[in-house]
Structure 1
Amino acid sequence: MKNDRGNSSGSKSWGMMALFLITGAVLGGILGEFAANSSFLTGVAPYLVKQFPIFDLPPVTVNLYVIKFVLGFALYPNLMSILGIIAAIVLFRRF
């Protein structure tokens, strides 16, 4: 049975959840940078923008002599981006 949104009864798509999480992380990181530059939060700002290394895959180079690929991935969230992810999860579950 389908609901108003076209999804099967009550299920939400994983793609939409990933979009919410990425958006929450990015917006939280941006707010953290604004907080770091704010004079109002000078005492707390270093804790809000301190990065926590979670995952770091060093770059791998694939040289095909015509095209050269460099692939790598690193995840260094700060406290504000983690709070943004939590807010995104709460919003996702509400809608």
Structure 2
Amino acid sequence: MKTSSKRGSSTSKGMGMMALFLITGAVVGGILGELAASSSLLSGIAPYLIKPFPIFDLPPVAIDLYVVKFVIGFALYPNLMSILGIIAAIILFRRF
């Protein structure tokens, strides 16, 4: 008889789904912020909605293996709308 161990599978699935929700919320919030910036109704507060906040910036590092060259870097500059999108994603994740 085979017994399948499902230890940790629900936790890893929950964490993966949470990461997907957070990334989706940040992207959708950023897109909505850019759309709000082009709207004439929100022109007064639009600069505050799309102003980026530098949180993390890792400059690009080149790894040359003579056959293949990799350039790796990472930067995180969310704006207010993407932060609001992340908060909405957390609320939706907990609700569903």
TM range (shorter): 0.7 to 0.9
Aligned alpha-carbon RMSD (Å): 1.2
Aligned residue for 1:40? 41
Q: Are 1:14 and 2:23 counterparts?
A: no
Identical aligned residues as a percent: 79
Q: Output the amino acid matched with 1:90.
A: I
In 1, the alpha carbon distance for the partners of 2:38 and 2:67 equals 44
In 1, the alpha carbon distance for the partners of 2:90 and 2:14 equals 13
In 1, the alpha carbon distance for the partners of 2:62 and 2:27 equals 27
Aligned residue for 2:25? 24
Shift of 1:48: 0.2
Shift of 1:31: 0.1
Q: Are 1:80 and 2:71 counterparts?
A: no
Normalising by structure 2, we get a TM-score of 0.87
In 1, the alpha carbon distance for the partners of 2:36 and 2:88 equals 17
Normalising by structure 1, we get a TM-score of 0.88
Instruction: Give the 4+ runs in structure 1 shifted more than 2 A.
Output: none
Q: Residue deviations 1:47-86, cap 9 Å, x none?
A: 0000000000010000011100000100000000000000
Shift of 1:13: 1.1
Q: Output the amino acid matched with 2:93.
A: F
User: If each structure's helix is expressed as a fraction of its own residues, which one has the higher value?
Assistant: 2
In 2, the alpha carbon distance for the partners of 1:18 and 1:47 equals 26
